[in-house]
Amino acid sequence: MNKKVMKSRFAAILTIMVFIASLFSFTGTSATAADQQDKSRVIVILDDGVSKKSIKDYVNKKGGEITADFNIVNGMAVFLDNDKIAGLKGIKGVKEVGLDVKVYASDTELDNSWGVNRIGAGSVHDLYTGANVNVAVIDTGIYYPHSDLDGNYRGGYDFVNKDNDPLDDNGHGTHVAGIIAAEDNNSGVVGVAPQASLYALKALDASGSGYVSDIIEALDWCCDNDIQVINMSLGSTSDAVGFQAAIGRAYEAGIVIVAAAGNSGKSNGKGDSIEYPARYEEVIAVGAVDRSDTRAYFSSTGPLLELSAPGVSVISCYPGGYASASGTSMASPHVAGTAALILAANPGISNTGLRQLMQATADDLGSAGKDTLYGYGLVDADEVVLPANSGSISGTVSDSNSFPIANALVSCGDGTVSTDSSGYYMMADLNPGTYTVTASAQGYQEDSQSITVDEGEISIANFTLTPVVAEKGIISGIVRNESGLGIAGAMVSTGSHTVAANADGSYIISDIIPGDYTLTASAAGYVDSSREITVYATQTTAADFILTAADAEQQTVVKNIVYSTSGGKTGTAHLIVTPIVVDGSDLAVPNALITIEVTLNGMIYYTGSAITGTTGTVSFKLAAAPSGTYATRILDVQAAGHTWDGVTPINAYIK
C-alpha cells in the first residue's frame, strides 16, 4: 500500500479517536436544565390489573408530565415536583415508586483493533451468518447510512426524541452494531454475524446517557416486533423499580438478552461490581478481555459474570468511518452476535438452551471452571456453532400429553443436564460415538435411547415419559353458575388432565396419580376458579365449583386473525399471522399472552406464544412458509383481569 495513503488513513482514524475521547470524557457529568430544577423523573409500578387512570389524573393535576407509559409492566414514568412524589405512594394500587435511574454507555478508552477473529466467528460464515435473526441494539441509535451497516439495518425507534428515526448522534451504538453485524463486503470491518437483521432502539442520548424508563419502553418494543436477541452495552450501579420485571417479561417471550457487565472493576479483580441490567439472572453478563485473553483491568467482576469476550482496542463502525474503542460495551456485542449465529444454526433452540450451550463451549480462562473474573470463559463462536472434533445432543422431555417436563434430568455417561421450563436440554462438547442417553423425572418412568454423535453435528433425542404405575384416584364434581345451574361444557383441569363438563355441569377425571393438585374450572363468560385438592389411591375426591359471570369488559375475545406476507420469493415469502384481541366492549387488550397453533394442509406446522401490543395485536412470523392452505387455532389467551371466551374465529389462508 502507498505510504502516503496509509498515513492519510491513519490520520483520519486518529481524528475520530480524539473526537470520541473528548466525547466520553464528559459522559455522566452534564445535566439538563430540567434535572437542575426541583423536579425528578420517577417510575411508578402498579399491581397487575390496576388501572393507570388515577396516576395520570394525579400527575396532570399536580402539573407533572408522563414521560413513558409501559405495557411490558403495569406502570409508567413521570416527571414531577419533588414534594409531590410522596403523594404517588398513597394512591390505591401503587406497588412501587422509585427514581428513574440513569444508565451510561459502558466505554472506557480508545485504541487499536482485533476482536471478531479471536472468537472464531469467521470460520462459521461459510455456513451461518446470522441471516433472518433479528437483533436489537438498545443504545445511542445506529448510523444506518454507514456502508458496512446499511444492508442489515431494518428500522427501530428513537425513545429519547419520540420519533421513528433512531439515527446515532453519539457513535457508541454504531460501534456496537458493527461488532454484531458489519457486512462482509470486502471493505472496512466484518461483524460476528454479518447478515443478522439490525434494529436500532435509541434509549441513550448524544452524551451516551439515558433513563431506565426509555429502556423499558424499548424492551416493550422488542416483545412486539419479533426480536430474538437484545444487546445492551450500557449499565448503572443502581437498580430501578420495574426494570427486572420488564427484563423478565422479555426473557419469558424467548428473547436472548445480553448486557455489558460494566467498567466498575478493580485492578486486582476483587469484589462484586457487576452493574444493572447485567446483574439480573435473565441477562448474560459479559466481561472484557484483551488480546492475550487477560481480563481488562476495568472489567466488572463477581459471581454473576457469565461470559467474557474481546473488549480492548476493538475497531468497528463509526459515523463517517471506523474507530477503535475499549470497554465491556465492546465485549457484549461479540456475545450477542454469537447468539445470532447459534439461532441461525439451531432455529428451535430456547434462550435458556442457548445460554447453556455457550457456557458449555466457552474457553475456560483463569481458575478452572466458572469464576468471578471470567465467568465460564471466553465465548467461542466456531465451537458453539460448529463444534470442533465434537458433537452435541439436544431435545425435549415431555409427558404423554405433550406437556413439557421442567427440571427433568438427562444424562449420557459424560455428564447430566436438566431441562428448562420448555422441557428443552442441550449436552455439548461430546466426543463422537454412540451414547446411551437417559431421561428421568420425579413421578415418571425413566427412558433411554441409543444416540450416535457425529463430529460437528447436533443429534436429536426427544423423550416422552410415562407416569409411574400406581393405584390411581378419581376427581368428580359439578360446575354451577351463581344461580345453581350446571354449566355445560365447562372445562376442568389438573394441568395434565382436562375434561369438559356434561350437560348438567357434572364431570369425572379418572386415572389420576395420587398427590396434590391445583384444580381449575373455566367456562366462556365466567371468571376462572381454582382450588387445591388432594387425590388418594382408589378414592374419589369431590370438587364442586361455582363460577361467577364475568363483566363484559373482563371478556377477552380474539376478534379476527389477519394473514399477510412479506419478503422472500413467490411461494416462499414469510407468512405473517396477526390475531386481534379485544374485550367485551371491543377495546384492544394489550399485554395479553396469546398461544396459537397453525396448520398447513391439515397438519400442525407451527406453534408459538407472544404478547400483544397497545393495539391488541401481535404478529407471528412463519419464515419462508411453503405454499398451501393455512388455518390458525387459538390455544390460550391470558390477560390480567380478563377471561378468554375460548373461541377461535373462523379463518383460513391459501398461499
DSSP 3-21: HHHHHHHHHHHHHHHHHHH
**What pLDDT is attached to residue 525?**
77
Which single residue is written with the C-alpha cell 423536579?
Answer: 39
Judge contact between 122 and 116, C-beta under 8 A: yes
**What pLDDT is attached to residue 17?**
35
SS3 category, 130: coil
Judge contact between 396 and 361, C-beta under 8 A: no
**What pLDDT is attached to residue 37?**
56
- Within a 10 A sphere around the Cβ of 150, how many other Cβ atoms? 13
**What pLDDT is attached to residue 304?**
94
**What pLDDT is attached to residue 555?**
77
**What pLDDT is attached to residue 491?**
92
CA distances from 588 to 141, 592, 626, 647 (A): 30, 10, 32, 17
Instruction: Report strand pairing: 256-260 vs 284-289.
Output: parallel
φ and ψ at residue 337, rounded to 5 degrees: -65, -40
Instruction: Report strand pairing: 416-418 vs 409-411.
Output: antiparallel
The answer to whether 146 is a known catalytic residue is: no
CA-closest candidate to residue 317, choices 528, 554, 160, 150: 150
Percentage above 70 pLDDT, the chain: 90
**Per-block average pLDDT, block size 10, for the chain (655 residues)?**
29 30 28 54 91 92 92 92 88 90 62 68 86 96 95 96 95 96 88 96 94 96 96 92 93 95 86 93 95 93 95 92 91 97 88 89 89 94 74 87 89 84 80 91 90 81 85 92 92 90 94 90 85 91 91 79 80 86 87 90 85 91 85 89 84 89
**What pLDDT is attached to residue 30?**
30
Return the H-helix or E-strand segment holding 213.
Answer: helix 212-224
Kindly name the residue from 125, 172, 175, 334 that is annotated as catalytic: 172
- Within a 10 A sphere around the Cβ of 414, how many other Cβ atoms? 13
CA-closest candidate to residue 168, choices 317, 269, 44, 68: 317
Judge contact between 344 and 229, C-beta under 8 A: no
**What pLDDT is attached to residue 311?**
92
The answer to whether 172 is a known catalytic residue is: yes
Q: Which domains does the chain have, with CATH numbers?
A: 33-100 (3.30.70.80), 104-385 (3.40.50.200), 391-467 (2.60.40.1120), 473-546 (2.60.40.1120), 552-654 (2.60.40.10)
Chain centre distance of CA 16: 34
Respond yes or no on whether the N-terminal peptide bond of residue 649 is cis (omega within 30° of 0).
Answer: no
Kindly name the residue from 273, 300, 329, 459 that is annotated as catalytic: 329
| Residues 43, 213: Cα–Cα separation, whole Å | 7
Kindly name the residue from 139, 158, 169, 583 that is annotated as catalytic: 139
Cβ neighbourhood burial of 56 (10 Å; 0-12, 13-18, 19+):
middle
The answer to whether 139 is a known catalytic residue is: yes
644-652 — which CB contacts under 8 Å span 24+ positions? Answer: 644/556, 644/557, 644/558, 645/524, 645/525, 645/555, 645/556, 645/557, 646/491, 646/522, 646/523, 646/524, 647/524, 647/557, 647/558, 648/558, 648/561, 649/558, 649/559, 649/560, 649/561, 651/560, 651/561, 651/563
Amino acid of residue 137: V
User: Residues with Cβ < 8 Å from 650, sequence gap 6 or more?
Assistant: none
CA distances from 160 to 172, 173, 333, 565 (A): 15, 14, 22, 32
| Residues 495, 636: Cα–Cα separation, whole Å | 13
**What pLDDT is attached to residue 113?**
43
The per-residue pLDDT for range 476-534, each reduced to its tens digit, is 999 999 999 999 999 999 988 899 999 999 999 998 988 899 999 988 778 889 999 99
Max Cα–Cα distance, the chain, nearest Å: 93
CA-closest candidate to residue 323, choices 197, 205, 178, 207: 178
User: Residues with Cβ < 8 Å from 423, sequence gap 6 or more?
Assistant: 396, 397, 398, 404, 405, 406, 408
| Residues 101, 246: Cα–Cα separation, whole Å | 15
Return the H-helix or E-strand segment holding 60.
Answer: helix 53-61
Which single residue is written with the C-alpha cell 505510504?
Answer: 3
Which ranges in 237-350 belong to alpha helices (H)? 243-252, 328-345
241, 591, 168, 149 alpha-carbon torsion, rounded to 10°: 130
| Residues 387, 384: Cα–Cα separation, whole Å | 6
